[in-house]
Amino acid sequence: MKENSNLVLASASPRRVELLAQINVIPAQILPADVDESRLKNEKLKDLAVRLAVEKAQKIRETQRDAFILAADTVVGAGQVLLDKTETRKEALACLKKLSGRRHHVHGGIALILPDGSVRQKYCNTLVQFKPLSDMEIEAYLDSDEWQGKAGGYAIQGFAGSFIKYMTGSYSNVVGLSLYDTMQILKSAGFFKN
């Protein structure tokens, strides 16, 4: 793998770095973007995911003018109810109870700002169905601490993968970044030289 000298990843997520490595994209810099992630009034969850990705990329663009700036955001929703990143056991419990036995959407937003300042964006949607969870399964998952800081209160790449009855769409989107869509947006922007 070689480092892509003009790519900056606007993210604090180690999972996004690991995912990019799977497609041989190694950012030269990883710079977390601090933006207000509050949902706007009447904002659809898919629009929230894309807007946050664009805002993160724009924030890093302020100091990185000559680079490709890649940013992403993941939003989990049951209907139009936002299931935020869980910071406490109580929040994770509420999310798992809401997801138990039902379908939910993982909305992924990807933004790429080119060195010329133009912005490309993509949206990815993955539909995930959880099996009905017993109280014992929920408690065991909460004890694992995998839910900490995770949108929707779970990490599909861990123990929660055993809760997934079926899924349609991108698996990597649920982890934190759709590799298919990321590759498409990078190719369309001329990031890869032939």
Tokens of 46: 């898919």
Residue 194 lies in a domain: no
Give the residue numbers spanning the domain of 101. Answer: 3-188
What pLDDT score does 101 carry? 97
pLDDT digits (tens, 9 = 90+) for 55-97: 999 999 999 999 999 999 999 999 889 998 999 999 999 999 9
Catalytic residue among 34, 73, 116, 145: 73
Tokens of 170: 């991108």
Distance between CA atoms of 171 and 62, rounded to whole angstroms?
Answer: 32
The amino acid occupying position 145 is: D
pLDDT digits (tens, 9 = 90+) for 37-52: 999 999 999 999 999 9
CATH number at residue 101: 3.90.950.10
Provide the domain count of the chain: 1
Residue 193 lies in a domain: no
Residue 60 lies in a domain: yes
Does the active-site annotation cover 145?
no
Residue 36 lies in a domain: yes
Q: Which DSSP string do the residues of 14-67 spell out, in sequence order?
A: HHHHHHHHHTT-EEEEE-------PPPTT--HHHHHHHHHHHHHHHHHTT-TTS
Residue 155 lies in a domain: yes
Residue 13 lies in a domain: yes
pLDDT digits (tens, 9 = 90+) for 86-132: 999 999 999 999 999 999 999 999 999 999 999 999 999 999 999 99
pTM of model > 0.85: yes
